[in-house]
Structure 1
């Protein structure tokens, strides 16, 4: 279940490793082992739903989604014995929920023509749905897939658009004011998911 962080030393360790220092109570909802176990389960669910990986393309939404997509891609190869195309998608210029100021972007990398493919978008957290809508808009430039599915580590609710995950690691009701922090080794040097009140 959830582990409440109560000691000053625990808070200090988190603040040093976090990409945003905690200002209130934090609850750990995923440990590193939980994340690994959840990604294995999600990969199995995805493969079962798609009857294997022969037509799949994994696209991770920058930033943390791309690292999760890479991990899922490695699991697919481990389970199926053959690689699956894995790319990443920067949606910065397609967002409608951030100020119209200069935005630094990274280059999207889509490794194959996605026309006729079953594309699985991968992200860390599903919240309002606006990130996914932006990703769908950005994806249009790369072809017309047979289907687009969504795989997320965590669904926290509060949708503003009619978007849902096909594969969700965990559904966790949150308050809109709470902050969900996903930390991955590739980006943050530590691995956990916390909710900050």
Structure 2
């Protein structure tokens, strides 16, 4: 793989998450009954960061949970074409809540669909919304994000890499050319 560009640095990621937090509050007319659920692995720390921004704005911490989906991604190595849900325990109650799923990159939509299934299996939410740091296009399912940090039109020969300090030691979004 050859790096093409750094799309977002740490400050740009922070600005995107602040904007997403404001948009979540605005679209839902406040934070009543909001629950954030991060799609592991990198969606969870993003959900925690959004929670902190919402707390700064509203003075209240919304609950944060996670859903663990092991995905054999078709943009890396295809082993299986469906995401696997490893745990149904989300860590938060979703029944009658407004759930905001948080992920790093929206690509085919398969991960989001599996996460939606896991949330519904855990309880019937009032609604499910999707927040992503990067939307790169190429959807295979009719899924769209409600909140997007950055739209990045890509080719299928490119890879988006999100690095977060909690996991990778630094914050950056990079695009690579698969060679």
TM-score (norm 1): 0.81
Q: Which of 111-120 and 125-134 deviates more?
A: 111-120
Between 1 and 2, higher relative CO (CA 8 Å, sep ≥ 6) is seen in 2
Q: Is the 8 A contact 1:151 1:167 kept in 2?
A: yes
Mapped partners of 2:40, 2:53: distance in 1: 20
5+ residue gaps, structure 1:
1-22
Higher fraction of strand: 2
Q: Indicate the residue corresponding to 1:140 in structure 2.
A: 120
Q: Give the deviation of 1:54 after TM superposition.
A: 1.4
Q: Indicate the residue corresponding to 2:100 in structure 1.
A: 120
**CA distance 1:76–1:27, shift in 2 (3 Å):** same
Q: Indicate the residue corresponding to 1:70 in structure 2.
A: 48
> What do you get for the CA RMSD once the two structures are aligned?
2.1
Mapped partners of 1:109, 1:184: distance in 2: 24
**CA distance 1:33–1:132, shift in 2 (3 Å):** same
Mapped partners of 2:110, 2:84: distance in 1: 19
5+ residue gaps, structure 2:
none
Mapped partners of 2:146, 2:173: distance in 1: 20
Q: Is the 8 A contact 1:77 1:83 kept in 2?
A: yes
Q: Is the 8 A contact 2:6 2:172 kept in 1?
A: yes
Task: Give the structure with higher Rg (CA).
Answer: 1
